[in-house]
């Protein structure tokens, strides 16, 4: 009887010990359910790309944005952001506290961004030459005249970084520094799924472009989703459920989802050229790529070079970005890596706590201070919340 009584007591104790955790989970369940109306409201109210800016140059679907400063700039050379032709450029200004644009504004720069817009059926014939030697060139010339400067700082993200490297190699005299953010440069090897999928033995890019004209947004998004299906289709939804009662997490979720699902097509001939010349033939690092009748020679890049990569990037491996090192002639090359993914590199809290402040300081050290700029910058930082 003593043994039976002891066992009964032990069982009761186990039940009692488990009861608080059971009740806690029940409370979390009810908290999530009560949060549903607020979650729907947040989904409608979440805004992205909210930093004030004016459109200063347009051409077809392309726009050049100039972000407004609250104080005078402290550096003579402005920063021009060049994003990829896939998805929307506002990923660089996703939310006020997760905005790469704001990081450079706070550091004291004039900031510009190229918004390539959404190509129409009539744009299917646009090539890399159109983007790099056309609108990007005109945007740089406009900024130089507006800011009365000989050079600009160029920052390119993903495919935009590749385009930024092309521009700098063709017009090195116009670029003060080049920052490559998760930018594919060396396309050799199969470390990333995109390199494997675009292998000419498996992927007929001509068939896609000839059938659709422009590469469809749904095709690109499907490819990106299935590059990491567990994280994109399962873990993300589990995380959403677990954080439903956290308003800040929900706002972050809806902001990022707005961007992820805001896909755009890529001009057909540009997509064809990018896949064939770069992914399949790796002509850029071989020194065999030409735009507008001019050979793109990476050795002509002599300006300071900053390579920003993400350790867990499944789209563009750090090795691909770092692959530019053997081909440039600049002696001022620095690399910064963060434990994040391709998108987390620009929107994670960790990135904006230390990674981006360090990157903007690097650029400030390679810029020309304006008279009184250091004092103005100190006063601005002291008054920031």
Can you tell me the distance from the alpha carbon of 245 to that of 38, in angstroms, rounded to the nearest whole number? Answer: 9
Q: Please, where are the H alpha helices in 172-275?
A: 193-197, 205-212, 217-225, 229, 236-242, 247-260, 268-273
CA torsion angle for 196, 200, 201, 202 (degrees, to 10)?
60
Do residues 305 and 180 make contact, with C-beta atoms less than 8 angstroms apart?
yes
Half-sphere exposure of 5 (CA within 13 A, CB side): 2
Question: Looking at the DSSP assignment, which residues form a beta bridge with residue 82?
Answer: 114, 156
CA torsion angle for 149, 150, 155, 158 (degrees, to 10)?
140
**Identified catalytic residue from 93, 115, 123, 313:** 313
**Identified catalytic residue from 66, 253, 327, 342:** 342
**Tokens of residue 357, six digits:** 């402040």
**Region of residue 87 (phi > 0: left; psi between -120 and 50: alpha; otherwise: beta):** left
The burial class, CB within 10 Å (0-12 / 13-18 / 19+), for 1 is exposed
Do residues 278 and 146 make contact, with C-beta atoms less than 8 angstroms apart?
no
The burial class, CB within 10 Å (0-12 / 13-18 / 19+), for 113 is buried
Annotation says 115 is catalytic: no
**Identified catalytic residue from 158, 215, 245, 352:** 158
Can you tell me the distance from the alpha carbon of 294 to that of 170, in angstroms, rounded to the nearest whole number? Answer: 8
Annotation says 313 is catalytic: yes
Q: Which of 25, 78, 24 is nearest to 363 (CA)?
A: 78
The burial class, CB within 10 Å (0-12 / 13-18 / 19+), for 298 is buried
Annotation says 327 is catalytic: no
- Within 8 A by CB and 6+ apart from 242, the residues are none
User: What are the residue numbers of the active site?
Assistant: 158, 313, 342
């Amino acid at each position: 009887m003593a043994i039976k009584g002891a066992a009964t007591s032990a069982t009761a104790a186990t039940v009692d010990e488990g009861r608080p955790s059971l009740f806690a989970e029940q409370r979390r369940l009810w908290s999530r359910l009560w949060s549903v109306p607020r979650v729907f409201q947040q989904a409608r109210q979440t805004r992205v790309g909210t930093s004030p800016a004016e459109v200063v140059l347009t051409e077809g679907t392309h726009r050049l944005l100039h972000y407004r400063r609250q104080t005078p700039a402290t550096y003579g050379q402005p920063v021009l952001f060049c994003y990829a032709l896939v998805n929307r450029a506002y990923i660089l200004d996703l939310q006020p506290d997760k905005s790469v644009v704001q990081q450079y504004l706070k550091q004291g720069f004039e900031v510009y961004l190229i918004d390539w817009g959404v190509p129409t059926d009539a744009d299917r014939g646009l090539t890399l030459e159109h983007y790099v030697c056309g609108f990007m060139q005109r945007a740089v010339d406009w900024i130089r005249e507006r800011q009365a400067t000989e050079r600009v700082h160029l920052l390119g993200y993903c495919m935009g970084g590749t385009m930024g490297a092309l521009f700098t190699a063709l017009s090195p005299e116009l670029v003060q520094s080049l920052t490559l953010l998760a930018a594919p440069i060396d396309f050799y090897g199969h470390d990333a799924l995109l390199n494997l999928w675009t292998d000419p033995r498996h992927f007929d890019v001509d068939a896609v472009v000839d059938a659709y004209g422009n590469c469809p947004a749904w095709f690109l998004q499907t490819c990106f989703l299935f590059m990491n299906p567990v994280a994109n289709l399962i873990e993300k939804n589990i995380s959403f459920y677990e954080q439903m009662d956290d308003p800040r997490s929900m706002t972050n979720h809806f902001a990022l989802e707005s961007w992820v699902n805001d896909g755009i097509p890529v001009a057909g001939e540009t997509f064809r050229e990018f896949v064939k010349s770069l992914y399949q033939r790796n002509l850029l690092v071989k020194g065999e790529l030409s735009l507008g009748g001019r050979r793109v020679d990476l050795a002509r890049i002599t300006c300071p070079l900053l390579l920003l990569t993400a350790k867990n990037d499944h789209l563009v491996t750090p090795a691909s970005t770092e692959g530019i090192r053997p081909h440039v002639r600049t002696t001022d090359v620095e690399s910064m890596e963060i434990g994040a993914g391709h998108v987390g590199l620009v929107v994670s809290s960790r990135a904006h706590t230390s990674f981006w402040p360090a990157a903007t300081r690097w650029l400030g050290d390679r810029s020309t201070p304006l008279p009184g700029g250091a004092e103005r910058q100190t006063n601005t930082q002291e008054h920031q919340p």
